[in-house]
A = this chain, B = another copy of it.
Amino acid sequence: MTQGGRDGYVPREKQLTDSRLWRSRQLGPADRDALADTVEGIRRVDAGFDFVHQDAPADRLHVVLDGWAARSKLTEDGQRYLPSVMVPGDLCDLDALLFDRLDYAVTALTKCTVAVLPRERLLALIASRPGIAAAFAWLGLAENAVLTEWSMSVGRRSAHERMAHLLCELMVRMTAAGRAEGHSFDLPLTQNHLADALGLTAVHVNRTLQALRASGLITVKDRRARIHDWPALSRMGGFRPDYLHLDAVDQEVELPLPAWRPDRCGAPVLAFST
């Protein structure tokens, strides 16, 4: 998955406008201008190819402008695992800001358009503009929260719950990215991708999706996910959107989710005492 594949390096444009970074509350207009100027170029990558390589020297960050990508790691015995999935607008490899090599690759799950930002210029911006520093810090910490929730899913939830949780998360993130229509969104992941993200088998993903459809919660068909019963789905997945920390996002888009507010999100808050 690493070489081959059209990987055109289009001359510089500025199209960060739809990215999560761009929408950060912490940024002022001047910050946004500065960021836009940082874009070194735009790459187009075919589905299935890595545009960031594991263990290779890293000196630039990547923002998915269009398409889906994922971080990807291999276990010693060759199983693939996707510790995080990037939807359009997401920053792929924040760690490249400080680390010289990454311990994951970033794979294009679909044909992708990717903005490339040179590390040095970003570091300079961070040093000189508190707003930009704050935005990156926020993104980093939010990412930690998402990873934590992800790992709890994998560690403690059943296949059905995990799938429900992931679909809820993607629904909310796609909505926040302005890429959802009502209760449905484009889901270009194959069942293999889902399996690698959830720590399951493709076969089992298939059966799980069928079960969720059979209970009338969702349908996934023709690369499109539709959520028919959000309250039930979020309850099943134990999903509460807090950990996504979307409150740092300028939200022109109204979130059309019926159970958006925590107190309506299903799971009763457990008393946490002896």
Tell me the A residues contacting B by CB distance below 8 Å.
Answer: 1-4, 50, 53-55, 71, 73-79, 81, 83-84, 94-95, 97-99, 103-105, 127, 130, 133-134, 137-138, 140-141, 143-145, 147-152, 154-157, 198-199, 235, 238, 242-243, 245, 266-268, 270, 272-274
Contact = CB atoms under 8 A, between A and B. Distances in A.
Contacts of A151: 83, 147, 150-151, 154-155
Contact of A156 (B79, B104, B134, B267): B79
A2 B273 contact: yes
Contacts of A3: 273-274
A75 B2 contact: no
Contacts of A267: 76
Copies in the complex: 2
Interface class of chain A by DSSP? mixed
Contacts of A155: 81, 83, 151, 154, 198-199
Contacts of A243: 103
Contact of A75 (B50, B98, B157, B274): B157
A242 B141 contact: no
28 contacts: A1-B272, A2-B272, A53-B272, A71-B148, A73-B152, A75-B152, A76-B238, A76-B266, A76-B268, A77-B238, A81-B156, A83-B151, A94-B144, A95-B141, A95-B144, A95-B145, A98-B134, A98-B141, A127-B130, A133-B133, A140-B141, A143-B144, A144-B144, A147-B147, A147-B148, A147-B151, A151-B155, A156-B199
B272 A74 contact: yes
A148 B155 CA distance: 13
A145 B96 CA distance: 12
Nearest to A200: B155
A140 B147 contact: no
Nearest to A53: B272
Nearest to A236: B76
Given A137-B98, A137-B140, A147-B147, A154 B157 contact: no
A58 to B, nearest CB: 12
Given A99-B141, A147-B151, 5 more contacts: A1-B274, A99-B145, A133-B133, A140-B144, A154-B199
